[in-house]
Structures are given as structure tokens and as C-alpha cells.
Amino acid sequence: MKVGQQVGAAARDACRGGDYGRLPGDSEAQAIQRTRALIDSGSEVIFEAALGDSQVFCQVDILMKEETGWHLIEVKSSSKVKPEHYSDVGFQLHCADKSGLAVSRASLQYIDKAYVMNEDGLDPSALMTQEEITQESRESFGSEADMVESAVDALSSTQEPEVHWGGHCKRPGTCGFYNYCRQGQKKYDLEFMPNLRQKAVMELRSQGVVTIDEIPDGTKLTAIQKRVRDVIRFSEDYVSPDLMTELNNWAGPLIFIDFESAMSGIPLFAGTHPYQQLPFQWSMHILDGEKLEHREHLSTEFEDPRADFSRSLLAAIPDEGTVLYYSPFEVQRVNELAAAEISGGEELKQIMDTRSVDILKVLRAHVYLEGFNGSFSIKKALPALTQNGFSYEGLAIKDGDMAMTEWLRLIRTEDSTEKQTIAKNLINYCEMDTIAMVEVYKGLLRLARG
């Protein structure tokens, strides 16, 4: 079950009863009729209340009868109120107005990250908190009301709307037409410039600039952005003359590490809170001269994985050498282990504070290859830096989000065959991350040597 569904179920449990405004199989019109019948019959709590008319429709997570009218409650799996929530609730209030429903107030119900689950299990009423956002929501929708009319017109038209794509296509979520609209997008489109703000993109487009190499001299860019533009413009990769000095500073053996962790809006274990990162797996490759050794750990049982993770990692790290990681994720997890007083956490923090290097920082400071295509992610850097075809293609698990999902399946399943398959896939994925770092290092060494 996805987090949003779990949170919705928890919110309904906290109400201790209610009626459903829409049942499986109901059309939108049937759901509106069912909801109206519940309202007229005196129902005081309605879940999935269907509101609207022939042009607009929404389902309200919870409608609760109060003395002065109805309390509209939108349930979110987020841990705070976000700007897009005002528009969301504003639209629901608009649908309520169209339905002739008197709404006295509207609230967002979201997860309280301060909640800690105890040994007695989940307390749905303590998991979530509410914030009234009636005025903000009505004001937000008031400024966007024309968008509803435009959307209705677009849906009834036989012509595609003329809307240019940009950063808004991924805010607050990725549009379902994201790839469709980008058919024919140029290889070095402005979108691929690292950390270029949407406002700057739109200003450049208004000047007729389409690709990164076309960005005029004199445009305000960061040092990295200027480097990216020039590499593409002149088809000449950038390698800093200081790269070899940096690599020579890494005392051997070189210890490459990667973590996988899980988090959930619904706490998994006693003593944990919503969206707490729980590292459950690590992979390590140790490069000592020409010798390469792999070590690994994976928690497979339904229990808090942090203690075993911390102890096993501390025992596996050699007493000497440089610990290498890619991006701050690993440092953040170690700092959290130390702050939570998990056994071995403080010792790991000491190692990371004194003996570790972020390969990503080194890459950003010293190298840019045209093959990066605007990204410094290891999945983009790996094929550009290596000469032996290393890639993540063919792996059953493709990214960290999928690894988290699969681990949650792993610790819950009682099917031994399924458990073995998932564990193997997780081990292969995490191992690939550290072998990828080894290959990135070797690629950097080749570049430094010229």
C-alpha cells in the first residue's frame, strides 16, 4: 500500500466511523448523488465526499458536520503545508460551492513528524495534525480561477493547447504529458543546464536561445554553468590541472561505500518517527593497489535495522585509508545514527569527519565532460568516464526509491523464495553503486594522467 493510502486510512481510523460518498464502481455523477443523499440523511462524517457539477468534480477526503456548517478536511502524506495545497483545497471549496454545500472552514491534515510510535503501536489520532487554511485556499483559487475555465475549454477542444514546457512541468509533480511534449527536444536544451532557474530559462527563451551553447557571453552564470556551456560550445571536455593533486591526497586503501535506506510516513518500528531515514543496507569496495575486495550487509527481518547496520559497517571499515562516497547522503545517515545514539554511530561519525571524501564534490570542481549531458549524477558520469561499458542496465532494481520499496516487501514477505530473490536484487544494486564509484575513480585517474 502506498504511503498516501496508508495515511488516508489512518486519518479515517482517527474519525472512528463515517460513511463513504463514493463506492467502487460509482461514476462521478453517481458519487455526487450518493454524497448528497448522505448529507440530506444526516450523516455527520463522510469519506471521499464527491462534490461538483457537470464541469468540475472533486473528492474530499473527509467532510465533518459542525454546528456552523461542514468542515472540509484534505489529508496529505506530507509533513507540512505546501503552497500547492492551497490551490488543491481552494478547488475543493469551489466544487463545494457548485454543489451548494455550506463549508464553514477548510483544513489540511498532515503528518506530525514529531510523533514517535511507542511499543503499543500506531496511534492514528496522534500521527497527524491539522491546520486551518480556509482563507489562504480561497485566495489562492481566486487568483487561478481562470485556469479552471481554460482547462474545461481545453478538454472540450479537438486541438492541443499551446503551452510551452518548462520547469512548471515537474511542479508540484511530473505532468503525465512530460515526455509527450518533449518530443523533438534538442540534445542540449536549456533545461539540461545544471541549476539554471526557471526564470532565467524563460528569459533566455524569450531572446530566442534554445540550447546551452547558444547562451550569450555576459549572461550571469555560475562557474560550473559557464564551464558546461563552454564544453558544449567548443566540444572540448574540461579537466582541471589540479585533479591529480586532489587524487594523490587520498591515502590508501580507498574505501568506497554506499547506503540504502527506507522511510515511511507511517512509522515502521517503535521508537521511530514519520519519514525517519532507516539505513538497512551498505556496500563497500576496498581498492588496495590492484586488489579489489567487496563487503556487504543487508537487513532482512522486520525490525529496526539501524543497530545491525551501524555495528556491521564499523567492523568492516579498515583502520586506515580514505572513505569515499558520492553525494552527502551517507554522511547524513551516519550523523543521524550518532545523534540517535545508535551503537557505533559516534565512531562512524568520527571516521566520516576525518577520513572521508565526497567524490561528487571532486567531480564538480575538477571535471566536466560533454557526455554528462548537464548532470553530475553517478548514472550519467559512469558511462562518460569509463571505457568498459559499465551501466545500470539490466538490474532488477533501478534506483534508490525502488530499493526502498523492495526492502519493505522483503521484510514483510513470508515467502522464502521471494525473500531470496528480493535480497539478491538489492545486493546486486547496492554493489553496483560502489563498483560504479571505483570505475569513476579510475576514470578520473585516466583523465588526470592525460
pLDDT of res. 151: 80
Percent of the chain with pLDDT over 90: 81
Asked if pLDDT for residue 73 goes beyond 70, the answer is yes
Which CATH number does the domain 3-146 belong to among 1.10.1060, 1.10.3470, 3.40.1350, 1.10.3720?
3.40.1350
Over the chain, what is the mean pLDDT? 93
> What mean pLDDT comes out for the span 22-34?
96
Domain ranges within the chain, ordered by starting residue: 3-146, 187-233, 237-450
> What mean pLDDT comes out for the span 139-158?
80
pLDDT band at 230, cuts 50/70/90? Answer: very high
pLDDT of res. 165: 78
Higher pLDDT, 144 or 345: 345
Predicted confidence (pLDDT) per residue in 117-142, tens digit: 999 999 988 999 999 999 999 999 88
Predicted confidence (pLDDT) per residue in 46-60, tens digit: 999 999 998 899 999
Q: State the Cα–Cα distance between residues 76 and 84, nearest whole angstrom.
A: 11
Predicted confidence (pLDDT) per residue in 191-207, tens digit: 899 999 989 998 999 99
Q: Which CATH class is domain 237-450?
A: alpha beta
Establish whether domains 3-146 and 237-450 are of one fold.
no
Asked if pLDDT for residue 15 goes beyond 70, the answer is yes
CA 355 vs CA 249, 309, 311, 324: distances in Å: 11, 20, 18, 9
pLDDT of res. 359: 98
pLDDT of res. 389: 66
pLDDT of res. 161: 83
pLDDT band at 167, cuts 50/70/90? Answer: confident
> What mean pLDDT comes out for the span 262-282?
96
Predicted confidence (pLDDT) per residue in 324-365, tens digit: 999 999 999 999 999 999 999 999 999 999 999 999 999 999
> What mean pLDDT comes out for the span 148-177?
83
pLDDT of res. 289: 93
